[in-house]
Amino acid sequence: MSLKASLKTKQRVEKLRKTIERYRYLYHVEDTEEISAEALDSLKYELSNLEEQYPELITPDSPTQRIAGKPLPEFKKVQHKISQWSFNDAFTKEDIVAFDARVKKILGLRFKRPVTPEYTCELKIDGLKIVLTYKGGFLETAATRGDGVIGEDVTSNVKTIDSIPLRLKKPLDIVVEGEVWLPKYELERINKERKKNNEPLFANPRNAAAGSIRQLDPKIAASRKLDSFIYDLSFSKEPLPQTQHEELLLLKSLGFKVNKNFALCKNVEEIISFWEKWKSKARAEDYLLDGVVIKVNERTYQEILGYTGKAPRYAVAFKFPAEQVTTIVEDIVLQVGRTGVLTPVAHLKPVLVAGSTVSRATLHNEDEIKRLDVRVGDTVILQKAGDVIPDIVSVLKEMRTGKEKPFIFPKKVLECGGNGEIERAPGEAAWRCKNKNSFAQTRRKFHYFVSKKAFNIDGLGPQILNLFLDNGLVSSYDDIFTLKKGDILELPGFQEKSAHNLLSAIENSKRIPLSRFLISLSIDHVGEEMAEDVAEAFGTLAAIQGAGRDDFERIEGIGPIVAESIHSWFSQKDNKRLVDRLLKYVQVTPVKQKSTRVLPLKNKTFVLTGTLESLSRDEAREKIKSLGGDVHNSVSKNTDFVVAGENPGSKYTDAQKIGVKILTEKEFLKLLP
């Protein structure tokens, strides 16, 4: 039975918490040490003892709660409130000039006049992305990025990071995003311990940070002195700041650690100057940097620019030059892709680059081989393009001995099936199998059809799928959905439970978004982003099936080759029959589109403020969008209407100052049919 705390003890505990929190913030966020680390530890020790003696005094935001007790059996899944995007990359100054031109073009078309936005430049921290949700100012969950929709709940581990507040300075409901990172000196310390214990060493601080956050025992994460930078306020019930620059200042005022090295740039020249400065200074910092993130500063402009299928149009990551190493090309082989494209792949002497060992690098196509003049036996310079894909940059021709062998595309490739003939179409860089149904190509298509990017059938990997193909259980995509338990139990390695689980996974995959259905079909030139754009443009599979070549070309980013590829695929009888057979088993969910009828709110921009009685904010937003209108978070001279409910906020005052028309809820409802 625990003792009951006296008023004096309660007051002492409260004082300790506030004092520890103050010095925690000064030390971990402001980098100011007003008392020694030993003194701060002493305060924490006293608080820990008091809470152990009086458990009823423990609160969720207590500094002692940063270290949880028991290891977790597994990580729970968390659905993100806001979808997590990744940035498109830029690698040259010309890329930034092109990005600036695209931004200005879109804004100019919208406003029918030249628009010159400002940009906020922030350092791109090379760590592990983290999404933090606060309710009433208290940390509720911390999750990894995951696939952008679903992440892993790592709250217990994130609580061990001193620079992440457990309670904000204001009782807000918000979602913020940032980066967890490990100081370079801490990596050295950890690796010394791991070497002493005969454990594998971490290749770099990024890997160590990711490994630490994904430990099931929070005490391990706590021992590794992780740190953080928060850079984005992605959701708030309160009005969002009108610029990215103001957003960073707000995050700092709430108690988050924000990287102080950000700048407001007025033009491309200032962006490049900021990038050049940090390209040379990056290695001096305690954290890994791999570039600069450039964002359009004005939120109104951000909302107009919007997103592509995978990234925001208003931002780009300007990467620093990748780490480079040298190695030897031991062989060049051709790989048959799912669309029949033959990709030359260099087999390399294994080498460590940017933290991982690489033994393969794509050479893309015949033109690239000729441009590089790369030969078997050459010494080459290798880097990771975007720090992900191994890429041969150049050949060190002075290292040649005369024994190097040029690579010549053969006339036939056995994996292409039939007589093995290959061809290169006029205007294209790639060689392809003439036989469109080669065994190797068919397998790759099937593997892609069931992959996470397409139907996402859990448990149906390449080995099992190959088993089905080899035994004649499937020969067409739709055969997958006709499999019975008896068919599967005939195969080696399957028991009742495993067969049941696989059939359940197949059943669960039968409802699929339009964009992923398009990806699954392995149409030439149609990847994830292209599929998203096509799905967004047409809305339904029926509309795509009935579209002409010109209809596809009208989509931004689609040229005549891609348009011809999509139109040709859906025009072929065999493909039409395949789609018809698939539709007997699967449901392709359409994209929600604005009605093609007369839209009464078309091109009208609304801002919502205050509480509406008859419908929620989200319902009002959906109604406006369904009628052709747009909804923004802030008032500007481009706003047509401000809808004011009870207790309107500062947007109401802003509308009065600018002269924007203010609608009551009753007046707003009259606009809705």
Q: List, as one string, the DSSP characters of 568-618.
A: HHHHSHHHHHHHHHHTTT-EEEPPP---SS--TTTT-EEEEESB-SSS-HH
Judged by DSSP in three states, 349 sits in strand
Sheet holding 89-90, edge to edge: 89-90, 315-319, 289-296, 119-125, 263-265
Strand partners of residue 587: 511
Report yes or no: 348 and 361 within 8 Å, Cβ to Cβ: yes
Kindly tell me the burial class for residue 551, based on how many C-beta atoms sit within 10 Å of its own C-beta (0-12, 13-18, 19 or more): middle
CA angle 594, 595, 598 (to 5 degrees): 120
- Which sequence positions are flagged as catalytic? 124
For the record, the structure tokens of 184 come out as: 């370079």
Residue type, 317: A
DSSP 107: H
What is the widest separation between alpha-carbon atoms in the chain? 90
CA-to-CA distance for 12 and 8, rounded, in angstroms? 6
Cβ atoms of 652 and 644 within 8 Å: the answer is: yes
Report the run of H or E that residue 144 belongs to, with start and end.
strand 138-144
Please name which of 327, 334, 404 lies closest in space to residue 373, comparing C-alpha atoms: 404
Query: Phi/psi class of residue 401: alpha, beta or left (left: φ > 0; alpha: ψ in -120 to 50)?
Result: alpha
Rg of the chain's alpha carbons, rounded to an integer? 29
Element (H, E) at 96: helix 93-111
Contacts of 389 (CB under 8 A, 6+ apart): 362
- Of residues 587, 581, 588, 569, the one with CA closest to residue 475: 581
Q: Is the dihedral of CA 437, 439, 445, 449 positive or negative?
A: positive
CA distances from 605 to 304, 384, 621, 635 (A): 11, 44, 11, 10
Q: Which residues contact 473 (CB under 8 A, 6 or more apart)?
A: 479, 483, 487, 488, 491
Write down the residue that tokens 């036989």 correspond to.
435
For 618, other C-beta atoms within 10 Å of its C-beta total 9
Structure tokens at 470: 């080899």
